[in-house]
Amino acid sequence: MSAAQGHPLRRMILRRLLIGLFTLFVISVLVFLAVSLLPGDIAQQVLGQAATPETVAAFRRELGLDEPLIQRYISWIGGVLTGDFGRSLANGRPVAELLAGRLGNTMFLATYAAVIAVPFAVLIGLLAALWRGGWFDRTANVLTLTAISFPEFFIAYILMYWLSVRLGLFPSIADPGASPSLGDMITRAFLPALTLVLVVTAHMMRMTRAAVVNVLGAPYIAMARLKGASPWRVITWHALPNALAPIINVIALNVAWLIAGVVIVEVVFVYPGLGQLMVDSVTNRDIPVVQACALIFAAVYILLNLLADVLAIATNPRLLHPR
């Protein structure tokens, strides 16, 4: 890339970074307010109804709940910026320690699903564009619309019933236990990963097909055909590179959903990830853990959206140098 091209791209990345940081700041405020405004006394619920008023008051002071809301937010966000998410109310362990292992499990599950879903969705989208209007295209569209229509927990229970209960091919509980091997993790996480694959493949496949079909009427496509290029070469070498921007966007959004939207799937399969930790913490009113999980999900989602914007513009000179 030349220097003339590099400067606009750097300015665009800096602008997107600033917007992302501001968005994350707004989300942190909303998360803190939403948790702080929950009904009921957190200290009373943690200690139980048998706790004396003096004990509750001392616990509130220990948690900083007697301080003004703004002061509590500043203390919390200051700790987050230094890597200190506080301590769990449920077991007293540092929240960062609880997040470390769970975040790795969630990233493994999301990566597992993405490695299967992304190439599969792009391939099916290209084949549907190649044979558009044919039986393959119609079948792929019907199946993807069906997958989009079902919620992920429904797909999860169907897969669990058939592949685990009826056929016994995979375990229904995805918890790999302590210090599992890579093979154990792949086997245990297959059903939740397959659920995520079926949910996100539909969106990526349909966008790939639509983006490729949209450029098939361009003059350079007609020229490639006149030169005798095969239909598959026309699709992959001429149409696909010029349709990458929307495809990259939808892939990045779906990968972001894989990480931030795994909560239900992790709960169904009892997978020890960040989503399962967040649900358990909500049940136990473990506020520091809930805030940390929500902030991490938001940060990952914003980061992947930023990456999608950068890649979409970097692969499309018309967006990088608009006239």
CATH number for 196: 1.10.3720.10
pLDDT of residue 178: 77
CA distance linking residue 41 with residue 34, whole number of Å: 14
Going by pLDDT thresholds of 50, 70 and 90, the confidence category of residue 318 is low
In a domain, 18, yes or no: no
- Report yes or no on 55 lying in a domain: no
Which 8-state DSSP code applies to residue 162? I
Domains contained in the chain, number: 1
Mean pLDDT of 283-293: 88
What's the mean pLDDT in 236-243? 86
| pLDDT beyond 90 at 189 | yes
In a domain? residue 96:
no
- Say what the pLDDT of residue 296 is: 92
Residue 77, domain member (yes or no): no
61 CB-side CA count, 13 A: 5
Q: 2 lies in a domain?
A: no
What letter does residue 65 receive in the DSSP assignment? T
224 in any annotated domain? yes
Considering only residues 38 and 105, tell me which one the structure prediction assigns the higher pLDDT.
Answer: 105
The pTM score is: 0.86
pLDDT band with cut points at 50, 70 and 90 for residue 3: very low
249 pLDDT higher than 60? yes
Q: How many CB atoms lie within 10 A of CB 286?
A: 24
Instruction: Tell me the two tokens of residue 54.
Output: 């003096």
51 half-sphere exposure, CB direction, 13 A CA radius: 17
Higher pLDDT, 121 or 308: 121
Mean pLDDT in residue range 143-171:
90
Once rounded to an integer, what is the mean pLDDT over residues 248-264?
A: 85
Whether 83 is covered by a domain: the verdict is: no
Tokens in use for 239? 């149409």
Residue 1: the pLDDT is 45
User: Percent helix, strand, coil in the chain (nearest 5)?
Assistant: 75, 0, 25
Residue the block writes with tokens 């119609």:
138
Is residue 7 included in any domain, yes or no? Answer: no
**Mean of per-residue pLDDT scores for the chain:** 86
Q: How far apart are CA 201 and CA 203, in angstroms?
A: 6
Confidence band for 126, pLDDT divided at 50, 70 and 90: very high
Q: pLDDT class for 87, splitting at 50, 70, 90?
A: confident
In terms of average pLDDT, the best of 8-22, 220-234, 300-314 is 220-234
The predicted pLDDT at position 317 comes to 58
203 and 114 in contact (C-beta within 8 Å)?
no
Please state, in angstroms and rounded to a whole number, the distance separating the CA atoms of residues 155 and 83.
Answer: 37
**Residue numbers of the domain that contains 265:** 102-316
Res 261: pLDDT: 76
Dihedrals φ, ψ of 87, to 5°?
-120, 145
Mean pLDDT of 9-15: 79
